[in-house]
């Protein structure tokens, strides 16, 4: 390849990854044209090792020749670099801090609980992970009511930082619901999240890049060789 334009955007990712999905949604919201490069074996990818030698993980956004790593960091970079499209993070410093707090919470508690259900060694361990995940959903229901202020998204009238952070987890949640029989997002227990999820899925920035649930199911069966996926 010849010289790379300073404005040329590439994304190294893998289709099942909720963290890659965050970046794709942010780029779509900002109407940023980019080249998507699927990395089927990111652990052994020369490009991934070259652009992220520390963590050796995707997603990696390459703007010109500058790599930006870690999904939430990338979403913030996209928001600050491209002014096209609606803002992703709030302008108020306190509201920005709140949004960042909840996205970190989603990663540290919700995602780890999703993974915990998938890799649980026995029924007791699985039950504990399910209970923790249900607690996460209850707390995010309260957070949605507070942050949305009666509007359609955590970010108000438009998809924002928390919407992207949590919305990227909807696919894995639906896979768990299929295999456990537990409805983590339910119209009676989490009515705000239930209707929010429909709006999120149908958004023009999300719909084209949201992974197919049946494909995610098959991916989970291959990745997690545990009884829950058999």
Where do the H-state alpha helices sit in the chain? 18-29, 46-51, 71-81, 93-105, 112-119, 123-148, 161-167, 170-180, 191-202, 213-223
Q: For residue range 65-109, what is the model confidence (pLDDT) as tens digits?
A: 999 999 999 999 999 999 989 999 999 999 999 999 999 999 999
Peptide bond into 184 cis (omega under 30): no
What tokens does 220 get? 């989970």
**pLDDT value for 227:** 47
What tokens does 75 get? 């979403």
Task: Look at residue 10 and give its three-state secondary structure.
Answer: strand
Domains and their CATH numbers in the chain: 9-81 (3.40.30.10), 93-224 (1.20.1050.10)
Residue listed under structure tokens 């010289």 = 3
**pLDDT value for 5:** 61
Instruction: Quickly count: other Cβ atoms within 10 Å of residue 23's Cβ.
Output: 31
**pLDDT value for 52:** 86
> What is the pTM assigned to this prediction?
0.92
Average pLDDT rounded to a whole number, residues 51-56: 85
């Amino acid at each position: 390849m010849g010289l790379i334009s300073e404005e040329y955007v590439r994304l190294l990712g893998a289709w099942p990854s909720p963290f890659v999905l965050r970046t794709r949604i942010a780029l779509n919201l900002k109407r940023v044209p980019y080249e998507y490069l699927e990395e089927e074996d990111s652990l052994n990818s020369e490009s991934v090792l070259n652009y992220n030698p520390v963590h050796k993980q995707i997603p990696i956004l390459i703007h010109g020749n500058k790599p930006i790593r870690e999904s939430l960091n990338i979403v913030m970079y996209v928001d600050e670099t491209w002014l096209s499209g609606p803002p992703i993070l709030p302008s108020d410093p306190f509201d920005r801090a709140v949004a960042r707090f909840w996205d970190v919470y989603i990663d540290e508690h919700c995602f780890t609980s999703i993974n915990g259900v998938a890799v649980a060694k026995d029924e007791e361990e699985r039950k504990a992970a399910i209970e923790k995940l249900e607690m996460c959903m209850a707390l995010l229901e309260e957070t949605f009511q507070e942050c949305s202020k009666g509007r359609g998204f955590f970010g108000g009238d438009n998809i924002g930082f928390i919407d992207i952070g949590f919305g990227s987890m909807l696919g894995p949640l639906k896979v768990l619901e299929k295999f456990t029989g537990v409805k983590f997002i339910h119209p009676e227990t989490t009515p705000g999240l239930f209707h929010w999820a429909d709006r999120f899925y149908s958004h023009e920035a999300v719909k084209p890049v949201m992974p197919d649930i049946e494909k995610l199911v098959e991916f989970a069966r291959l990745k997690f060789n545990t009884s829950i996926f058999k």
